[in-house]
Amino acid sequence: MMLRALGLKLILVLGLAACAAPPAPQVQLGADGRPLQTVYRISPVDAPRVRQRMQDGLNSLRQQNGLPPLTPNSRLASAAATHARDMSFQSRPWHWGSDGSSPMQRVSRAGYDGMLIGELISETFENEFETVNAWMSEPETRQVILDRRAQELGVGWHQDSNGKLWWTVVLGAPGRGADVVASTPSWDGFGGVGF
């Protein structure tokens, strides 16, 4: 009888132990004692959330600086995605397309008839949060994010098989036409740099 009760207690304890949460994965540390970076992968299912988090991050920074939020624009997103793929193809982060196109030409080709405010680009293994923080730490890209004229944005990226991300964010203002961009003296290039 005592042996049976002990056996039932042992089964109960083992059963409860099986229900417990699995142990947290061990973080691998490098020679410097810091965690080794893991590859951040974006699946098609994650794409809408990633796009929203990028937008929310940029809007949070704008709000902290007394600026209105940016709203998504599908034409700007198309121009951004096209350029992200093209930067990967060219294997370099820069504002010129492999066909020689400028950001202005790309947003126009995508059907955007507003004013291009700027283009943010990045070649990185970092996620959307780290990328926004990197942009905010650089005066040129920070200026684009905090441009008072910006009202809309398009977020695009391309991920290589090794996990490298090519980010592009295009900011615009609706209804002003591309000719305004050329005459805007404060517009110095394309308002972004690659990291």
Q: Are 88 and 81 in contact (CB under 8 A)?
A: no
Task: Report the alpha-carbon distance of residue 130 to residue 73 in Å, rounded.
Answer: 23
pLDDT at 44: 77
Dmax (CA) of the chain = 94
Could you tell me the CA-to-CA distances from 194 to 44, 97, 177, 190 in Å, in that order? 25, 14, 26, 11
Overall size of the chain counted in residues: 195
- Give residue 113's pLDDT band: very low, low, confident or very high (50, 70, 90): very high
Task: Report the alpha-carbon distance of residue 140 to residue 119 in Å, rounded.
Answer: 11
At 85-110, the pLDDT tens digits run: 999 999 889 898 989 999 999 999 99
Which residue type is seen at 109?
Answer: R
For residue 177, pLDDT over 80 is answered with no
pTM score of the predicted model: 0.72
Mean pLDDT of the chain: 80
- Give residue 21's pLDDT band: very low, low, confident or very high (50, 70, 90): very low
Q: Are 119 and 169 in contact (CB under 8 A)?
A: yes
pLDDT at 41: 82
Task: Report the alpha-carbon distance of residue 102 to residue 31 in Å, rounded.
Answer: 43
For residue 23, pLDDT over 50 is answered with no
pLDDT at 42: 77
Q: Which residue has the higher pLDDT, 59 or 8?
A: 59
